[in-house]
Amino acid sequence: MPLDVIMPALGMAQESGVIVAWHKQPGDAVAEGDVLFEVETDKATMEVEAQGAGFLTGVVARDGDQVPVGDVIARISATADAPEEAPEPEKDAGDAQTATDDLPEGQTVIMPTLGMAQDSGLLVAWMVEPGAKVDADDPLFEVETDKSTVEVPAGVSGYLAAQLAEAGEDVPTGQVIAIISAEAPAQTVTRSAKGAAPVAKAPDPQPAPQETKAKPAAKPEPSKARQPSDPTGRILASPKARRLALEQGLDLSRLVAAGVAQPFHVSDIETLAAMPAETQALAGAAAAASLHLTAEIPAEGVTAFMAWASDTAGLTDSGAVMAGLAGGCLDKARPVVAVEAFGQRRLFDVPGHNLTAVTSVEDATPDLILRDLRATRITGLHMGGEDAPVLSLTTSGAGLTLTLECAQGQIAPAAALSLLGDFAGRLEQPLRHLL
């Protein structure tokens, strides 16, 4: 079955992207992970990689075209002689509902792409009331994926005129979930992401405080089976759920024994905390043992080096270059680095300081996870440890912020300081990597 290639969502308030250049031509064979084209938004220019193998067909957008997010622009087909044109994207009932709703005018906010191969996000909570004024950097809502839980900023300044999804809903990436208007709305709109009829109401600029009532102790519910347990016995849980369990000294294995479905999320931690007290396997000291380090550097060095590596050295795979720079900071002869960027996770074998020798591998256990979030509006994060140390890159003004997070026992404090300091130095002055 042909695989549609769509204009991806790279930013929080992105409505479209400009195709800078195609790296493959119609009829060319492509492998999964091959760069198909470059796309530019108002925040960044990124390479878009193929999500499957086949032949590039049905290309309907050219270099320089501005394409709305979600539009089909090409296909990856089983043969090179597939039909020339890609089909028009189908409109479902939710699209029809959106078209007929009397929604306020303003800047739309979409469910962003935060994780690798992510196709949806769980809207945990709204952090702004309908009708309230927001600045561009104010947290608008909290979203959880299988990799992280983050606060998403509004992206633009104005008034929250419409909430088009409810807390607890799983929303596809790229779907509009809010509208921010330039002027205070006479009425706000709230509704479910599933296309339920909107509910209009007058905004309340000063909502009356509500009395907080204690919640009754929750009883764990047996298997609603979000997904099967890991056959190796590993407990499946989101990073935030793991961090909260560590901070509160809670043992996730008690949820497993109680039959609560995995993977565990933040709501399951509340269930665990309400269970009858017993000696916990994880004490508060374990939380203190986890590491969270940050560093800030200018962005010019890595930007210039990436351009030089591509133009002069022929290193066009930016993921492999970043993996080589990060892997060279590890005290291991041949580390495997997982690079998570733009909706994908790729594994690289790093044999040394020779960037041309970095190769892509399959089914390997990473020694380090490098999470590149420069194309998003995320400026900081604190998600807790994962299966390997995690280095995250975020944009901070005109520079970059590097965040290293390690779970208990993964790396010694001195080694963590050395790793972050070395990586920061290599990004600021990449030529030192070659010395």
DSSP string across 147-190: S-EEEEE-SS-EEEEEE-S-TT-EEETT-EEEEEESS--SSEEE
Q: Report the pLDDT averaged over residues 388-400.
A: 89
| Rounded Cα gap, residues 99 and 116, in angstroms | 30
Cα 183 versus chain centre, distance: 31
Q: Report the pLDDT averaged over residues 52-76.
A: 86
Whole-number percent of the chain with pLDDT over 90: 16
Are 143 and 121 in contact, with CB atoms under 8 Å apart?
yes
pLDDT, residue 161, reads 92
Q: Which residues of 370-393 are buried (b: 16+ CB within 10 A; e: fewer)?
A: bbbbbbbbbeebebbbbebbbbbb
Are 382 and 404 in contact, with CB atoms under 8 Å apart?
no
Cα 148 versus chain centre, distance: 7
Q: What is the mean pLDDT of the chain?
A: 77
| Rounded Cα gap, residues 326 and 353, in angstroms | 10
Q: Report the pLDDT averaged over residues 338-349.
A: 88
Which region among 112-126, 300-314, 417-431 has the lowest average model confidence (pLDDT)?
A: 112-126
Q: Is the pLDDT of residue 402 over 70?
A: yes
Q: Which residues of 101-118 are buried (b: 16+ CB within 10 A; e: fewer)?
A: eebbebbbbbbbbbbbeb
Q: Is the pLDDT of residue 6 over 90?
A: no
Q: Report the pLDDT averaged over residues 351-379.
A: 88
Q: Report the pLDDT averaged over residues 119-124.
A: 79
Are 215 and 271 in contact, with CB atoms under 8 Å apart?
no
pLDDT, residue 390, reads 92
User: What CATH class is the domain 3-77?
Assistant: mainly beta
The residue among 412 and 133 whose pLDDT is bigger is 133
Q: Are strands 107-110 and 344-349 parallel, antiparallel or unpaired?
A: unpaired
Where does the chain hold its CATH 2.40.50.100 domain(s)?
3-77, 93-201
| Rounded Cα gap, residues 178 and 159, in angstroms | 10
Q: Report the pLDDT averaged over residues 382-400.
A: 85
Are 395 and 379 in contact, with CB atoms under 8 Å apart?
yes
Q: pTM score, two decimals?
A: 0.39
CATH architecture of 291-434: 2-Layer Sandwich (3.30)
pLDDT category of residue 347 using cuts at 50, 70 and 90: very high
Q: How many residues does the chain have?
A: 435
Whole-number percent of the chain with pLDDT over 70: 76
Where does the chain hold its CATH 3.30.559.10 domain(s)?
291-434
Q: Is it true that domain 93-201 has CATH number 1.10.3470.10?
A: no
Residue-wise pLDDT for 276-304, tens only, equals 865 444 444 444 457 888 999 998 888 88
What are the C-alpha distances in Å from 226 to residues 75, 121, 144, 172, 275? 31, 15, 15, 17, 21
pLDDT, residue 369, reads 93
pLDDT category of residue 114 using cuts at 50, 70 and 90: low
Any long-range contacts for 302-311 (C-beta under 8 Å, 24+ apart)? Answer: 302/400, 302/427, 302/428, 302/430, 305/430, 305/431, 309/355
Are 431 and 305 in contact, with CB atoms under 8 Å apart?
yes
pLDDT category of residue 361 using cuts at 50, 70 and 90: very high
pLDDT, residue 376, reads 84
> 3-class SS at 264?
strand
Q: Report the pLDDT averaged over residues 18-23.
A: 89
Which region among 170-179, 332-341, 358-367 has the lowest average model confidence (pLDDT)?
A: 170-179
The structure tokens listed for 65 are 């075209």
Q: Is the pLDDT of residue 27 over 80?
A: yes
Residue-wise pLDDT for 327-343, tens only, equals 988 888 899 999 998 77
Q: Which residues of 211-230 are buried (b: 16+ CB within 10 A; e: fewer)?
A: eeeeeeeeebeeeeeeeeee
What are the C-alpha distances in Å from 339 to residues 29, 77, 366? 24, 27, 10
Q: What is the CA radius of gyration of the chain?
A: 23
pLDDT, residue 363, reads 83
pLDDT category of residue 160 using cuts at 50, 70 and 90: very high
| Rounded Cα gap, residues 197 and 200, in angstroms | 10
The structure tokens listed for 79 are 């043969």
pLDDT, residue 244, reads 78
pLDDT, residue 233, reads 54
The enclosing H or E element of 308 equals helix 300-311
pLDDT, residue 86, reads 47
The enclosing H or E element of 202 equals none
Residue-wise pLDDT for 190-249, tens only, equals 888 876 444 444 445 444 444 444 444 444 443 333 444 444 455 776 666 776 777 787
| Rounded Cα gap, residues 224 and 211, in angstroms | 32
Q: Is the pLDDT of residue 307 over 70?
A: yes
pLDDT, residue 147, reads 58
The residue among 51 and 188 whose pLDDT is bigger is 188
Q: Is the pLDDT of residue 88 over 60?
A: no
